[in-house]
Every structure is written in C-alpha cells, then in structure tokens.
C-alpha cells in the first residue's frame, strides 16, 4: 500500500498526533462522557500504517479503551488482521471482543480527528465491541440492554 502524505500540523495537538503516527504508528483520541453520550476512544494511523481499519471503542473509560486499542494495534503490527464480524479471545483478559464495521455516516460525529488526518472519508473503521457480564454481545438476543445502549453504534444484526 502506498501511504498518503501526512497532513500539515496546525497546532501542538496536531504535531503530537503526527509524531505518534510516525514514531509508534498510531495515535489515540479519547473523548470523555458528557450529556451527549458515553466516553469513547479511537485510533488514528492504523489504516495509514498497516492498511487495517481504525478501531473505536464506545462506553468504556478512555484509559481502558485506549489500553485495548493499543493491544489491538500491537497485534496488527505483528501482522494479525481484523475484520467485520471477527470475535477474538486473546486481547482482553477474561472476555472476548467482537468487531463491527462503522459506516461512514458516523465519521463526522465521532471521528473528526481521523477525518482531518486522512482528509477524506476513505478509511475503514471497526467498532471493538465488548460483551455483557455473561459474555453476550449486543447482537445476541439476551444481551443486557445497558451493554447494548452504551455501545450505541451497534445495531443488533443476528
């Protein structure tokens, strides 16, 4: 994959993002919970560095979400690929994680910094989804409703 040139930094936050992508191949953006919704964290640079989807985790605190995305990024760095509908057991201790494609209709609301970085909507994103306490994902019929609600992008799809 031919890498696109990086955007031009306009401030210190941009320079930090670009430095992280150049140095460690991705950057994390954490958004705290507010009246508009739950906290979430997403990567910027995984697609640029590994031709793999950016990762977004909704509903966990940004530290925990960032830790999980870094673990996923390290696996991508070693050549492991992730795709829509994958379920993996070896990232989070004690519970599986699932992945679902995020449609670009959500990019502007949730992934503004990634849009700046890629200068387009032309990059894939997977939402990393965590299960309820009984290891049921939001797309399972008997999943705890609060688990589904807080991970708001997921639509049960069997």
In the chain, how many H helices and how many E strands?
6, 6
Give the pLDDT band of residue 1 (cuts 50, 70, 90).
low
Q: Is the predicted pLDDT of residue 2 greater than 80, yes or no? A: no
The Cβ-side half-sphere exposure at 91, using a 13 Å CA radius, reads: 25
| pTM assigned to the model | 0.93
Q: C-alpha dihedral over 97, 98, 101, 102, to 10 degrees?
A: -50
pLDDT digits (tens, 9 = 90+) for 109-141: 999 999 999 999 999 999 999 999 999 998 888
What are the extents of the domains in the chain?
12-150
Q: Is pLDDT at 144 greater than 60 in this prediction?
A: yes
């Amino acid at each position: 994959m031919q890498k696109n040139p990086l955007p031009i930094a306009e401030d210190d936050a941009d320079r930090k993002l670009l430095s992280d992508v150049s140095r460690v191949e991705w950057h994390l953006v954490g958004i705290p919970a507010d009246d508009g919704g739950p906290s979430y964290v997403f990567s910027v640079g995984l697609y640029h560095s590994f031709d793999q989807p950016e990762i977004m985790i909704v509903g966990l605190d940004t530290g925990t979400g960032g830790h999980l995305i870094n673990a996923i990024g390290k696996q991508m760095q070693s050549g492991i690929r992730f795709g829509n509908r994958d379920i993996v057991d070896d990232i989070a201790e004690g519970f599986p994680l699932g992945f679902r494609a995020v449609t670009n209709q959500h990019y502007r609301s949730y992934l503004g910094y990634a849009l700046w970085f890629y200068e387009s909507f032309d990059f894939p994103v997977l939402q990393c989804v965590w299960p309820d306490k009984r290891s049921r994902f939001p797309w399972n019929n008997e999943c705890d409703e609060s688990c589904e609600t807080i991970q708001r992008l997921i639509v049960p799809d069997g």
